[in-house]
């Protein structure tokens, strides 16, 4: 992932217990290839030490507007001019009120006020007690902050340090990181409605046994994240996988191929793009046992009567909206041999403009993949890379094709 590589963030900490999360966030930003300059309010130093943040960022921490390390004694000017963004995490209710009213009585608030608004975005991660968050004054402040051009992240819900439970927690570092990736991703799919299927399906033999496959769903989930980052409205229909729903993505969980077929037909009606990454079972048992099929030396081995499942991709690709070009369809194919030959034939049989193929046994369950793109012009290889990076490349491909 390259969205944050070589970006320079000023990470501002206002006073609050969520400062402990800022340490992990700082470390995560560094691992993404960004550089981080930490600026702390006096209140923040009551919750975490500047020494900790200096060790994690690799840079001296700034606290006072009278810091003499700057030759011109203008840290509020110098620090803001160097940044690609100022991220306030945590942003307390008091500090947000400062931002709203243009108060500048410490280095952190002074720097936010002095930043070049058009060049340096202000990103705010709220953190406060649930009653403080729900207070009408706080909600008015955040509404005006948004109107003034700041980018305000959502809040989390759950246990709070005060012992209460509710909204107002600062997002977890990985959630903030994902929000930053999305912020710095070009919105090439802005407003497009994208429907994605992902993962395997599970076809029951009896209540405890079934037919499935080795698909982990990682490629489909990575594509959902990439499309969301690019500005799309994403619905993800997922088979049974142990993956967290990507932030900002609407998820529909299914088990069987029939359920995936029904949900796809229901959701594809208002979609602009359909991407079929799911490894849907080709067959199901005609009549699944209502009770566990017992193994006995007196009984013969049971014979499974299989029937073919509906072909989801082919059905959608042959729909009027797809044939008219109103719906753009992308198919995926996992093969074990003769990848190019079989992928070319599958694209033709499915009737899709673009088919993405890979050697399934080489990538199932892994975070990396290598892909073959197949369209009417021929084939093109995408070299072995992370599924996140490949998804970003596929989004660029998709955007270019939709623009034609």
The phi and psi torsions of 56 (rounded to 5 degrees) equal -75, -35
Give strand ranges (E) for 269-353: 273-276, 283-285, 306-308, 328-335
Active-site annotation holds for 19:
no
How far apart are the C-alpha atoms of 60 and 52, rounded to whole Å? 10
Taking alpha carbons only, the member of 9, 8, 12 closest to residue 22 is: 12
- Alpha helix (H) residue ranges in 303-355: 312-317, 320-323, 339-350
How far apart are the C-alpha atoms of 83 and 111, rounded to whole Å? 11
Give the DSSP letter of residue 346: H
How far apart are the C-alpha atoms of 65 and 43, rounded to whole Å? 14
- Alpha helix (H) residue ranges in 58-197: 75-81, 93-101, 107-114, 130-134, 136-147, 173-183
Cα angle vertex 67, ends 62, 69, to 5°? 90
Give the DSSP letter of residue 338: -
Q: Which of 19, 162, 227, 329 is catalytic?
A: 162
By annotation, the residues acting in catalysis are 162
């Amino acid at each position: 992932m390259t969205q944050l590589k070589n970006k320079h963030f000023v990470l501002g900490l206002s006073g609050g217990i969520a400062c402990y999360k800022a340490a992990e966030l700082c470390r995560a930003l560094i691992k993404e290839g960004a550089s981080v300059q930490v600026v702390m309010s006096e209140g923040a130093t009551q919750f975490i030490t500047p020494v900790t943040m200096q060790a994690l960022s690799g840079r001296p921490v700034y606290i006072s507007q009278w810091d003499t390390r700057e030759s011109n004694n203008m840290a509020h000017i110098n620090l803001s001019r160097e940044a690609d963004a100022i991220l306030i995490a945590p942003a307390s209710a008091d500090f947000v009120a400062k931002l709203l009213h243009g108060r500048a009585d410490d280095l952190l608030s002074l720097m936010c006020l002095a930043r070049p608004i058009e060049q340096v975005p202000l990103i705010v991660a709220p953190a406060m007690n649930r009653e403080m968050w729900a207070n009408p004054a706080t909600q008015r402040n955040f509404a005006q902050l948004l109107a003034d051009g700041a980018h305000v992240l959502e809040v989390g819900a759950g246990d709070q340090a005060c012992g209460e439970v509710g909204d107002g927690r600062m997002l977890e570092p990985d959630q903030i990181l994902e929000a930053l990736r999305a912020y710095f991703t070009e919105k090439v799919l802005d407003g497009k409605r994208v429907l994605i299927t992902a993962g395997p399906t599970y076809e029951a033999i009896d209540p405890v046994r079934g037919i499935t496959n080795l698909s982990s769903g990682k490629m489909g989930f990575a594509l959902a994240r990439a499309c969301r980052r690019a500005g799309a409205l994403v619905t993800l229909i997922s088979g049974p996988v142990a993956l967290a729903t990507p932030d900002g993505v609407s998820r529909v969980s299914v088990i069987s191929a029939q359920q995936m077929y029904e949900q796809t037909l229901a959701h594809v009606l208002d979609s602009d793009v359909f991407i079929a990454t799911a490894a849907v079972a080709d067959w199901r048992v005609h009549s699944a046992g209502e009770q566990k099929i017992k193994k006995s030396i007196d009984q013969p081995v049971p014979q499974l009567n299989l029937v073919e499942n509906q072909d989801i991709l082919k059905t959608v690709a042959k729909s009027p909206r797809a044939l008219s070009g109103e719906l753009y369809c992308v198919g995926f194919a996992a093969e074990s041999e003769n990848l190019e030959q079989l992928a070319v034939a599958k694209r033709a049989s499915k009737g899709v403009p673009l088919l993405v193929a890979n050697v399934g046994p080489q990538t199932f369950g892994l975070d990396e993949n290598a892909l073959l793109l197949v369209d009417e012009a021929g084939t093109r290889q995408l070299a072995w890379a992370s599924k996140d990076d490949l998804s970003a490349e596929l989004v660029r491909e998709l955007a270019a094709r939709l623009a034609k």
